[in-house]
């Protein structure tokens, strides 16, 4: 009898466990009900204004409209962690800039699917600096947020156009985003390359002077001579290879959601700023406020550009090859075919 009681108890436990598992499967199925293209995970939360398409596609229902259940998670600061996340299937899409081209060349499993906005990066000097142009940066010290960061790439493109070898003609230092302006003011470095809103704040509050601006929407000739392409996309939508190559229907749905979000942002910069600040996607401060965030969003000219985005990727690939950030024997056409999704 004792053995029979044990067997019955064990069967009861199995049935309970099975029931719980069944409930779990049902909950999982229910969570994607109504989303014909399933779920995606986006490493989006890093406090950047540039990431607006992620947040607007989520908040304004563009993901849902296109049959996608999106999960927005923290964005790793280390590009290697991002690469690993895409390779493992942890991440599906990314709003990022052209700094990912060397990573793609080295095997990162992502493809750009369109330029999503224009520049958000400047090379700056303090207001009393004797530096007047990029040529004056020869043998000077430039600080950026990190080696291989997009501010370093932007500065390097400008340097090579000025006849200065970015590898040997300047000294590079690294500081956190919020410490770059202070380092220049203290005389620890001669110039800085930074992203908004930090660059914008240095200009507006501390009166730093702009030496290079990679937002060349107006077609400034001086900036063009420094390699800053007119209307060139700074940031792009990237998709995991597993989507573009194995699930093109889902990939196209993601592209459409971002395209609709980017168009909405371009038409509603003030409302976009309100959403970013009120939902705490961007941390507000005395400077990072409704007015300044709205101004920055308007200046980026959001809008998903597919064919033009590919031309911009080709341009920047050539620039990065010349600056030594891509292999010297890089076949740019082959790299772009690998790096760009034409779907």
Per-residue model confidence as pLDDT tens digits over 118-136: 888 999 999 999 999 999 9
pLDDT at 99: 84
The length of the chain is 343
Rounded alpha-carbon distances, angstroms, from residue 177 to 44, 90, 255 = 18, 27, 30
The pLDDT tens digits for 186-204 are: 999 999 999 999 999 999 9
| 3-state SS assignment for residue 95 | strand
Calculate the dihedral angle through the C-alpha atoms of 119, 121, 126, 132, rounding to the nearest 10 degrees: -60
- Please tell me the predicted confidence (pLDDT) of residue 173: 97
CA–CA separation, 94 and 239 (whole Å):
6
Looking at domain 39-118+233-339, its CATH architecture is 3-Layer(aba) Sandwich (3.40)
Instruction: Please tell me the predicted confidence (pLDDT) of residue 76.
Output: 87
| Of 259 and 97, the one with more pLDDT | 259
Looking at residue 332, what is its pLDDT?
96
Q: Where are the domains of the chain?
A: 39-118+233-339, 121-225
CB atoms under 10 Å from CB of 101, counted, come to 26
pLDDT number for residue 147: 87
% of residues, the chain, pLDDT over 90: 71
Q: Which residues pair with 104 in a beta bridge?
A: none
Q: Which pLDDT score, from 0 to 100, does residue 12 have?
A: 42
**CB-neighbour burial class of residue 268 (10 A; exposed 0-12, middle 13-18, buried 19+):** middle
Residue 16 has pLDDT above 50, yes or no: no
Please give the C-alpha separations between residue 252 and each of 2, 256, 259, in angstroms, as whole numbers: 62, 6, 10
Which residues lie below 8 Å from residue 285, measured CB to CB, with a gap of 6+? none
| Cβ-contact 320, 100 below 8 angstroms | no
Strands 39-45 and 69-74: parallel
Looking at per-residue confidence, does 322 or 18 come out higher?
322
Within 198-328, residue ranges assigned H as helices are: 198-206, 221-225, 241-246, 248-267, 269-278, 290-300, 307-322
Task: Give Dmax (Cα) for the chain.
Answer: 96
Strand order across the 209-213 sheet: 171-174, 141-144, 191-195, 121-125, 209-213
Q: What are the backbone dihedrals phi and psi of residue 44, each rounded to the nearest 5 degrees, phi first? A: -115, -30
Domain with residues 121-225, CATH architecture: 3-Layer(aba) Sandwich (3.40)
Q: Is the pLDDT of residue 23 over 50?
A: no
pLDDT in tens, 206-236: 999 999 999 988 888 999 999 999 988 889 9
pLDDT band at 31 (very low <50, low <70, confident <90, very high): low
Query: Can you say whether residue 40 is alpha, beta or left, with left for phi > 0 and alpha for psi between -120 and 50 degrees?
Result: beta
Confidence of residue 246 (pLDDT cuts 50, 70, 90): very high
Q: What is the mean pLDDT of residues 292-318?
A: 93
Q: How much is the mean pLDDT over the chain? A: 89
> Phi, psi at residue 318, to the nearest 5°?
-60, -45
DSSP 173-221: EE--GGGHHHHHHTTS-SEEEEETTHHHHHHHHH-PEEEEES-BTT--H
CA angle 181, 55, 244 (to 5 degrees): 105
Q: What is the mean pLDDT of residues 319-339?
A: 93
User: Is the pLDDT assigned to residue 26 strictly greater than 60?
Assistant: no
> Contact, 303 vs 262, CB < 8 A?
yes
292 or 81, which is more confident?
292
pLDDT tens by residue, 59-98: 999 999 999 999 999 988 778 888 888 989 999 999 888 8
169, pLDDT greater than 50: yes
- Fold match flag (39-118+233-339 vs 121-225): yes
Q: Is the pLDDT confidence value at 145 over 70?
A: yes
Indicate the pLDDT class of residue 20, thresholds 50, 70 and 90: very low
> Is there a contact between 110 and 94 (Cβ–Cβ < 8 Å)?
yes
pLDDT of residue 293: 95
């Amino acid at each position: 009898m004792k053995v029979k009681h044990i067997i019955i108890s064990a069967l009861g436990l199995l049935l309970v466990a099975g029931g719980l598992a069944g409930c779990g499967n049902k909950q999982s199925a229910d969570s994607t009900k109504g989303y014909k293209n399933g779920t995606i995970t986006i490493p989006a939360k890093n406090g950047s204004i540039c990431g607006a398409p992620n947040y607007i596609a989520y908040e304004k229902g563009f993901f849902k409209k296109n049959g996608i259940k999106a999960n927005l998670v923290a964005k790793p600061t280390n590009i290697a962690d991002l690469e690993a996340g895409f390779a493992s299937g942890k991440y599906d899409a990314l709003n990022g800039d052209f700094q990912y081209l060397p990573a793609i060349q080295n095997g990162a499993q992502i493809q750009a699917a369109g330029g999503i906005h224009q520049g958000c990066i400047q090379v700056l000097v303090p207001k009393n600096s004797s530096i007047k142009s990029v040529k004056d940066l020869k043998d000077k010290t430039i600080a950026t947020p990190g080696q291989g960061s997009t501010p370093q790439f932007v500065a390097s493109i400008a340097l090579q156009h000025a006849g200065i070898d970015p590898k040997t003609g300047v000294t590079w230092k690294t500081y956190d985003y919020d410490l770059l302006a202070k380092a220049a003011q203290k005389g620890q470095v001669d110039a800085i390359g930074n992203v908004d809103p930090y660059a914008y704040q240095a200009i507006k509050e501390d009166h730093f002077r702009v030496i290079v601006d990679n937002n060349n929407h107006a077609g400034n000739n001086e900036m063009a001579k420094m390699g800053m392409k007119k209307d060139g996309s700074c940031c792009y939508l990237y998709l995991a290879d597993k989507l573009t190559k194995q699930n093109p229907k889902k990939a196209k749905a993601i592209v459409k959601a971002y395209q609709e979000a980017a168009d909405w942002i371009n038409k509603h910069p003030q409302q976009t700023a309100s959403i970013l600040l009120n939902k705490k996607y961007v941390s507000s401060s005395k400077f990072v406020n409704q007015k300044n965030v709205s101004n920055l969003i308007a200046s980026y000219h959001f809008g998903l550009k597919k064919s033009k985005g590919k031309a911009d990727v080709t341009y920047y690939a050539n620039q990065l090859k010349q600056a030594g950030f891509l292999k010297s024997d890089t076949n740019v056409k082959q790299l772009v075919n690998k790096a760009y999704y034409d779907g």
